[in-house]
Amino acid sequence: MGKRGGKKDVSSFFSRKFRSGRRAELQAAMPPAPLGVASEQLTSQAGAKGAKKKAGSRLWMRFDRTGQSEVAELDKNAIIRRTSIPTRDLRILGPIFSQSSNIIAREKAMIINLEFMKAIVTAEEVLLLDPLSQEVLPFIEQLRQQIRLNSPCNVHEPGHGDVPGKQISSTGGQQWLHNEKGQVEEELPFEFQVLEVALEFVCTYLDATVSDLERTAYPVLDDLAMNVSTKNLERVRNLKSNLTHLLARVQKVRDELEHLLDDNEDMAQLYLTRKQIQSQQFEALMASATSNSIVLAPHLDRMNSNIRGSASFTSFHSDDNNVEDLEMLLEAYFMQLEGTRNKILSVREYIDDTEDYVNIQLDSHRNELIQLQLILGIASFAIAINTLIVGLFAMNIPSPLYTIHHIFTPFVSGTSSGSLFIFFFVLAYARWKRLIGS
């Protein structure tokens, strides 16, 4: 009985292990659920648990190519499955790096962290973090209008884009403009449309902030130049603090764009649509080669390596030779940020000039006080000589001058005149040495 029981336990153990392994394989083979399904699951879970938010989930808004949007709470695992980005990249969108500016390209996604806008862009959709923020709501409306304007559903509508004499077509997620001569003008892919809207919104926001600060700065500085008071000095100190903070924000975005413009490989990695098309072409080529059985099985690995090498070689040279559109896009907003930065620097120069003027005024007042102090010192020296003479005659020392009648008035007048002469003499000497201004 004991042996049969032991065999039963061992067999049940291996059967349970086999079933659990089978379930793990089936779960790994299942495709990731769509965003709408994930949102419904999260909503049902929240209702079942008493509207308790799932740990680690955050609010995201999804936009696709057609402009359709939806809001859902997704955790890190759901975002990683949808965008195929490393876990460490989600930290860039977290609160720790909220003050940094980053535009990072991955294999299938682009991570945008500019000011208050935090998004993950793929070739088919864009996921926007914290869409209910007051600062993000205007960007969402602008992004919705831009996506709907350039969506494939509106490509063949009359009057689309308001480009006279041109026709618009779309193939493989890419749009082209056909002019009257039949020449093809390539439109920006989906990811660059999102990037353009983000850069435009950030640059416009920073420029408007600088303009508001500029309108406030000049009256404050003029008041300080007219009246150096504690209140005006405190206002200028707050102005300089805000100006320094704003300059750092503009500088971060500008440096990120400059870093991308300096490296063609980084710009080439941002072409998500092109990489997707190349991947699809490679998969189609491999499928046709496998179905037609062009080569024998022992040479299949060699063919795969050759195709991958040729595809990577073509992609490499194609990326190097076709980053002009992204380069022009980044250069345009880089110049706009440069102009915003120059505005801040001009305000800073005006502050420095005002401070120099105030320091000159304070130095002038200080020199006047020193001159007054010098004049009072000369007068005190002259009066001290007269006081010395008076003190000498106030002592009880026998002197024949005490017996002379009517000598008080001439004596006092003489000593006072002598003291006055000494005062003017020392004052003239100080003016001759230019110790006192004329």
Q: Pairing relation of β-strands 117-121 and 125-129?
A: antiparallel
Q: Is 1's pLDDT higher than 60?
A: no
**Distance of alpha carbon 117 from alpha carbon 128, whole angstroms:** 8
- Residue 322: band (very low, low, confident or very high) from pLDDT cuts 50, 70, 90: confident
Exposure string over 305-325, b if 16+ CB within 10 A, otherwise e? eeeeeeeeeebeeebeeebee
Q: 43-78, pLDDT tens digit by residue?
A: 444 443 433 445 568 889 998 888 888 898 888 888
Q: Is 238's pLDDT higher than 60?
A: yes
- Residue 301: band (very low, low, confident or very high) from pLDDT cuts 50, 70, 90: low
Angle between helices 190-226 and 230-262 (to 10 degrees): 150
pLDDT for the residue numbered 436 = 82
Q: 338-348, pLDDT tens digit by residue?
A: 999 999 999 99
Cross-strand pairs, 375: none
Name which of 311, 273, 98 is nearest 192 in CA terms.
Answer: 273
Q: Is 413's pLDDT higher than 70?
A: yes
- Residue 18: band (very low, low, confident or very high) from pLDDT cuts 50, 70, 90: very low
Q: Pairing relation of β-strands 174-178 and 184-186?
A: antiparallel
Q: How far is CA 49 from CA 43, 45, 58, 75, 435, in A?
A: 10, 6, 17, 17, 87
Q: 111-161, pLDDT tens digit by residue?
A: 999 888 899 999 888 999 988 888 889 999 988 888 888 765 554 444 444
Residues 6+ apart with CB under 8 A from 342: none
**Distance of alpha carbon 81 from alpha carbon 222, whole angstroms:** 58
Mean pLDDT lowest among 46-60, 388-402, 414-428:
46-60
Q: 163-177, pLDDT tens digit by residue?
A: 444 444 444 444 444
pLDDT for the residue numbered 314 = 45
pLDDT for the residue numbered 399 = 74
- Residue 379: band (very low, low, confident or very high) from pLDDT cuts 50, 70, 90: very high
pLDDT for the residue numbered 99 = 72
Q: 108-119, pLDDT tens digit by residue?
A: 899 999 888 899
Maximum separation of any 2 CA atoms in the chain, in Å: 154
CATH architecture label of 33-146: Beta Barrel (2.40)
Domain residue spans of the chain: 33-146, 151-186, 273-320, 358-432
- Residue 83: band (very low, low, confident or very high) from pLDDT cuts 50, 70, 90: confident
Global pTM value: 0.67
Q: Among residues of the chain, what percentage have pLDDT more than 90?
A: 30
Cα-based torsion angle of the residue sequence 156, 158, 159, 163 in order, rounded to the nearest 10 degrees: 60
**Distance of alpha carbon 126 from alpha carbon 196, whole angstroms:** 13
Cross-strand pairs, 153: none
- Cα separation of the two ends of the chain: 126
Cross-strand pairs, 63: 69, 126
pLDDT for the residue numbered 274 = 87
- Residue 321: band (very low, low, confident or very high) from pLDDT cuts 50, 70, 90: low
Residues 6+ apart with CB under 8 A from 218: 350
